[in-house]
Amino acid sequence: EAGVTQFPSHSVIEKGQTVTLRCDPISGHDNLYWYRRVMGKEIKFLLHFVKESKQDESGMPNNRFLAERTGGTYSTLKVQPAELEDSGVYFCASSPRQGVLSVEQYFGPGTRLTVT
């Protein structure tokens, strides 16, 4: 079974430009999460999808960030326009529908975003 994949692995853009990150969750996983880790800090929650619906977007920093999950499969996270403080590693994670014994989330390798 393929794991969570993310594209690109690394992106370097200038302040003011737009970047789109993509996440492909594990097949059949309804839950998809986006997290971000700024250097040296904790991994912070951004957004949670259940299938194609946004369940919780309380972690989104501001309206420069837009996430979509059309069709309930892959998801994109667009940053427009990018600012210096958006630099960090963006992780995507997925998990199946709620099961009694399973709370773990499966993470992708992350996209390292550098805004210069």
From the list 14-22, 67-75, 77-85, 108-116, the region that binds another protein by CB under 8 A is: 108-116
Pull the structure tokens for residue 90: 């963006």
Distances from the Cα of 57 to the Cα of 28, 53, 67, 97, 99, angstroms: 22, 11, 9, 18, 23
Which residue among 21, 32, 33, 82 contacts another protein (CB under 8 A)?
Answer: 33
Which residue among 1, 14, 39, 41 contacts another protein (CB under 8 A)?
Answer: 41
Which residue among 17, 43, 52, 74 contacts another protein (CB under 8 A)?
Answer: 43
Q: Do 66 and 20 form a contact (C-beta atoms < 8 A)?
A: no
Task: List interacting residues with another protein (CB under 8 A).
Answer: 4, 31, 33, 35, 40-45, 48, 50, 56, 59, 91, 93, 95, 97-100, 102-110
